[in-house]
Amino acid sequence: MTNTMIEIKDLTAAVDGTDILKGLSLSIKPGEVHAIMGPNGSGKSTLANVLAGRPDYIVTGGSVTFNGVDLLGLEPEERARAGVFLAFQYPAEIPGVNNTYLLRAALNAVRTARGEAEISAVDFMKLAREKMKLMQMDASFLNRGVNEGFSGGEKKRNEVFQMAVLEPTLCVLDETDSGLDIDALKIVANGVNALRDEARSFLMVTHYQRLLDYIVPDYVHVLAGGRIIRSGDKSLALELEARGYDWLLEEAAA
Amino acid sequence: MSTNSNDVNDFVDQKYKHGFVTDIESETFPPGLDESVIRAISARKQEPEFMLEWRLKAYRTWLDMKPPSWAHVSHPPIDYEAISYFSAPKKDADKPQSLDEVDPKLLETYDKLGIPLHERARLAGVAVDAVFDSVSVTTTFRDKLAESGVIFCSFSEAAREHPELVKKYLGTVVPQRDNYFAALNSAVFSDGSFVFIPKGVRCPMELSTYFRINEMNTGQFERTLIIAEEGSHVSYLEGCTAPMRDENQLHAAVVELVALDDAEIKYSTVQNWYPGDEEGRGGIYNFVTKRGDCRGDNSKISWTQVETGSAITWKYPSCILRGDNSVGEFYSVAVTNNRQQADTGTKMIHIGENTRSTIVSKGISAGRAQNAYRGLVKIMPQAKGARNYTQCDSLLIGSDCGAHTFPYMEVKNASAKVEHEATTSRIADDQLFYCRQRGIGEEDAVNLIVNGFCKDVFRELPMEFAVEAQALLNVSLEGAVG
| Residue B211: pLDDT over 50 | no
Q: What is the pLDDT of residues A181-235, one digit of tens each?
A: 899 999 999 999 999 999 999 999 998 888 999 999 999 999 999 999 999 999 9
**Is A98 in the B-facing interface, judged by CB distances under 8 Å?**
yes
| d(C-alpha B2, C-alpha B144), whole Å | 56
**Is A55 in the B-facing interface, judged by CB distances under 8 Å?**
yes
Does the beta-carbon distance from A97 to B430 stay under 8 Å?
Answer: no
Does the beta-carbon distance from A109 to B439 stay under 8 Å?
Answer: yes
| Residue B7: pLDDT over 60 | no
Nearest chain A residue to B423 by CA distance is A95
Chain A: nearest CA to B351, how far in angstroms?
34
**Is A253 in the B-facing interface, judged by CB distances under 8 Å?**
no
- pLDDT at B460 (0 to 100): 83
| Residue B437: pLDDT over 60 | yes
Which of A56, A57, A77 is the best mutation test for B, with the most CBs of B within 10 A?
A: A77
What is this model's ipTM? 0.95
Q: What is the pLDDT of residues B263-290, one digit of tens each?
A: 999 999 887 777 766 666 667 788 889 9
**Is B438 in the A-facing interface, judged by CB distances under 8 Å?**
yes
- pLDDT at B125 (0 to 100): 35
- pLDDT at B160 (0 to 100): 92
Using CB atoms, which residue from A88, A90, A109 is nearest to B440?
Answer: A109
Find which of B79-83, B203-207, B209-213, B346-350 is predicted with most confidence, using mean pLDDT: B346-350
Residues of chain B with C-beta less than 8 angstroms from the C-beta of A145: 452
Does the beta-carbon distance from B438 to A103 stay under 8 Å?
Answer: yes
Using CB atoms, which residue from B425, B434, B449 is nearest to A91?
Answer: B434
| Residue B219: pLDDT over 80 | no
Does the beta-carbon distance from A53 to B430 stay under 8 Å?
Answer: no
Chain B: nearest CA to A158, how far in angstroms?
13
**Is A223 in the B-facing interface, judged by CB distances under 8 Å?**
no
**Is B60 in the A-facing interface, judged by CB distances under 8 Å?**
no
Average pLDDT, chain B: 78
Which of residues 151 through 170 in chain A touch B, CB cutoff 8 A? 162, 166
- pLDDT at B340 (0 to 100): 79
Chain B: nearest CA to A208, how far in angstroms?
25
